[in-house]
Structure 1
Amino acid sequence: MSSRTTSYSDGNVLCSIWIHQFNTIHLTNILKEFDGFLVRRISQSSQLIVLLSRHFMNRNHQHRMTNRRFMGGVDVIVLAAGRSSRLGQPKALVDVDGRPLVSHLIQRLQRINDVEITIVTNNDILADVYLACPATNVVLNPDPEKGRTGSIQCGLSSILERKGRLPNPVLIVPVDRPGWSVDIATRLIASSATSSPVWEGRGGHPLLIAGDDVNTVYLADSNAPLSSLIEREKLDVDFPFLHLNIDTEADLAELFLAAKEDWF
């Protein structure tokens, strides 16, 4: 059974969910195609089920719809598909001042002019991410254990289907590396080469992938580490939080400290 990315729009809400190809529009079959995911989450995800049903009842019309205000903008892929085994809770959903961490990152990215955001996530938190970030494209990575390159490829495939072309450049933002500012992201986007910020000799995130490197990553083995595929130019920054990495419970204290900063 083949897979593809299906995009749909409901008013100002644009969402993209990776689903299996199927031939019926009945909601019962949609639930089966999600292998019971929506059934397990129905109490938390009734809005998502309603939107899915509404979309597939008018599938041909909706599939032709695009968010045209982004056609000339910069694409951003937020990586939120990891299982977070060491942290003990989904990193994207860590509560920061009453909101999920991923929501804070999306709000920060939306302060950059003319960006379109695609979030790649896993089936455990798909509905939660969609409901927390309704103005984004949300894509399911069906096999997140393959690593970061595979998640980036899911995002690139979604953008390719929606726009008919691969994005170039594309900004990659891991949800567990939130130590960056709008200024850093803007400087990366303005560069013409694959690059990432560096503070005190150590690299950080986000990562801008540009030029031929976009095709290289898209066509690579999904298990291949990014470091083996591309070389990054260094963008020197003075930013003490650049190396913030949400990996274990002990890292949350630094995250909550960073959340008090104006840039967060």
Structure 2
Amino acid sequence: MTLHGEEPPAGLLLAAGEGSRLGRPKALVELDGERLVDRGVHMLRSGGCSPVLVVSGAAQIEVIGAVVVPNAEWRTGMGSSLRAGLAALPPACPAVIVALVDQPRITSAAVARLIEAYEAGARVAVATYGGKPRNPVLIGAEHFAAVAGGAAGDVGARAFLRANPGLVTHVPCDGVAAPDDIDTPGDLAEFRGQEAR
């Protein structure tokens, strides 16, 4: 429960892509012996989200501690996954934090900062790094329909955020997380090299 006595924000991990440049679905890639999908679920749960939903597509996945939401339209891009995830949230869900499976340096500390901003009154909040908005993103329930309406192709919440800058609370997450993503085998090798250090 949050400070307001209502339910905490849900967590939504978008994990449906096939990883075309990587050569396999990113959700199943392992870093330090842990699948990226499990890592993402743990990050959202540890940060304070409940429940946690995972949108799947290219790979059939089972995840402990999360509800898997299949997206039959995953080939059309991330927008369809965001729409599927928002549609699957519980009716009383007050807000959701959206994260991407291919950003393993996003941490529970970044999620917790977004929840702190939410508890202080923010209805839309975005983690920033070097002042630039990236992920994760928190969206209040009253904006779910508008966000879903702007999610198409490979655009998720970005269209809504750009159209409504006055609603957005920026939450600096420098020093506790990083938005680096794994897109190519080279990216993965670099991540693994840093994990081994």
Give the structure 2 partner of residue 107 of structure 1: 42
Note the C-alpha offset of 1:185. 0.6
TM (norm. structure 2) is: 0.80
TM (norm. structure 1) is: 0.61
Selected match of 1:125 from 59, 70, 88 = 59
Selected match of 1:186 from 106, 112, 117 = 112
Distance verdict in 2 for CA 1:239–1:256, change over 3 Å: farther
Cα deviation per residue 1:164-220 (whole Å; 9 max; x = unaligned)?
Answer: 34x331100100122222121111122213122222233321111125322211344
Distance verdict in 2 for CA 1:228–1:254, change over 3 Å: same
1:76-225 matches, cutoff 5 A: 76-113=11-48, 115-122=50-57, 124-126=58-60, 129-130=61-62, 133-159=63-89, 163-165=90-92, 167-191=93-117, 192-210=122-140, 212-220=142-150, 222-223=152-153, 225=155
Give the structure 1 partner of residue 3 of structure 2: none
Distance verdict in 2 for CA 1:157–1:258, change over 3 Å: farther
Cα deviation per residue 1:45-70 (whole Å; 9 max; x = unaligned)?
Answer: xxxxxxxxxxxxxxxxxxxxxxxxxx
Structure 2, unmatched stretches of 5+, are: 1-5
Q: How many residues align?
A: 182
Give the structure 2 partner of residue 251 of structure 1: 187
Q: Which structure has the higher relative contact order (CA within 8 Å, separation 6+)? A: 2
Contact 2:82–2:151 (CA<8 Å) still a contact in 1? no
Percent of residue pairs bearing the same amino acid type? 25
- Alpha carbon RMSD of aligned pairs, Å? 2.5
Distance verdict in 2 for CA 1:224–1:252, change over 3 Å: closer
| Larger CA Rg, structure 1 vs 2 | 1
Distance verdict in 2 for CA 1:93–1:215, change over 3 Å: same
Distance 2:32 2:17 in 1: 22
Selected match of 1:242 from 153, 178, 187 = 178
